[in-house]
A and B are shown apart, each in its own frame.
Chain A
């Protein structure tokens, strides 16, 4: 049988167009690739940093000129190398992969923690375009770790999106965790759906809240990844593969992997470790 070719899985080498700092630890990297520019909010790509590593990253924006971006925090060797690259440097991209967010409902609560805001930023734009009433909560440890302040404040001013920031030390916006603020917001307003991405314990809390308030729920999850096409088994969560069956999971599927969410994952060796 012919056609062993998976079109989006061919690695393309692209030039970095621009690198924009979001905060002292996070950068947004712009490049042009036709297939990446067709990604749905919540889908991810594999980014090859030649000679270093290849890592999964969510698409954080797509522009009408065909460029797209990933937003990456310095957390290890690969991300450090990537954040130090400049315009003109070459990276490889595969993807987009996986299932993204499904836009549904009229009132959406978006809860993001740290660089978990990356896939949510693209979703927020899509929701606003679709006329959805959006409330955004972004949480971080401190003001230095918040991202997309400009983009979100612009949306707030020009489109009337309610944007709430919270920091654990109170250095910007509210003081406390994103989920604490979400609980207060949920008490006062009825939402159809919660979209979330960030630290998995935050996702877990948001999931419990969604159940308690009977609100629909979609979360983007993260696991160690290798192939991105559903065969290597590295990104397993319960019976699902995050690369293929996720990274965005809906209420029903989260219910099936509830026992692992915020609890257990596999490391590179396939050993069970706590989240």
Chain B
């Protein structure tokens, strides 16, 4: 099949197609990042990396709920210094390697990001939206002022594209998008998981060891589509849509709302790594059927009055 209609240019990155591995899924080892790229993802985003090694929470960390998954893994990562060794095995990766970073202050985000960029990251995605770790993620990313400070601190130290991954756990996500835009972000990723919880009725206990976690999957897709649609109307930045995407129809829906690319995560549990290729095949057929020559032509079409 000819995939040239899927070529995607986003914030200076060239991708063979608009599908990306979402952060938090698989991307902690060189082996699995490579496996995802070989399976057909247009780019891969690593699990979030911080300054120091972190073991994350005890299990249960990932559980199934109605229409999706609930997770509180707790940002496990080997720390950027060790992770750079992992990145060393990915120099010949044939798609962009985007490193997701987190920190406990704007300066720490910038420190981790600059080390990742020096080590060869194609772009940096700022995790401003993890809903279950104290002192980072949403605790920084729910506050537009902090988003602005963090994006600016990172942009000052990094010469690669910087994506701000935003949380839906606020009244107005566009305030966050505008803050990221004003501080010089190169793209917006929307959305991260929705803060949520599940309780076992036999033992009267919250099931996640951390009690609270983030909801992903089908349940949050309409929320994510709405966020992408609102952000598209408010800021002039490329958007990467994320949240409950499982097939080409979901991916196209995000693109019509304004996403230039899409990230896929939880659905890998259902479809396996072949999901990237099947979504690409589906988009190609859709473009052909509707008479479009390039996937970029459908971005934001739902906004036409």
Task: Name A residues whose Cβ lies closer than 8 Å to a Cβ of B.
Answer: 1-6, 9-11, 13, 46, 48, 50-55, 90, 92, 94, 226-234, 236-241, 244, 266-272
Contacts and interface: CB of A to CB of B under 8 A. Distances in A.
B31 interface: yes
Interface string B207-244: 10100000001110000000000000000000000000
A199 B88 CA distance: 30
B32 A241 contact: yes
A5 B269 CA distance: 10
A250 B9 CA distance: 41
A8 to B, nearest CB: 10
B269 A227 contact: yes
B296 interface: no
B29 A53 contact: no
B47 A231 contact: no
Nearest to A266: B29
B53 A9 contact: no
A1 B269 contact: no
A228 B60 CA distance: 11
A6 B269 CA distance: 9
Nearest to A267: B55
Given A6-B270, A11-B207, A53-B209, A90 B202 contact: yes
A171 B53 CA distance: 43
A229 B54 CA distance: 22
A225 B246 CA distance: 24
B145 to A, nearest CB: 31
Interface string B32-62: 1011000000000001000001111011111
B67 interface: yes
B59 A55 contact: yes
Contacts, number: 140
A46 B71 CA distance: 15
A51 B78 contact: no
B249 A236 contact: no
B202 A53 contact: no
User: Interface residues of A: mostly helix, strand, loop or mixed?
Assistant: loop
B91 interface: no
Contact of A231 (B29, B35, B265): B265
Nearest to B49: A270
A227 to B, nearest CB: 4
Sorted nearest first, the 5 A-B pairs with minimum C-beta distance are A54-B59, A227-B62, A233-B26, A270-B28, A271-B78
A230 B203 contact: no
B19 interface: no
A9 B268 contact: no
Contacts of B90: none
B62 A268 contact: no
Contacts of B61: 54, 226-227, 232
Interface string B70-94: 0101001111001101100000000
Contacts of A268: 55-56, 76
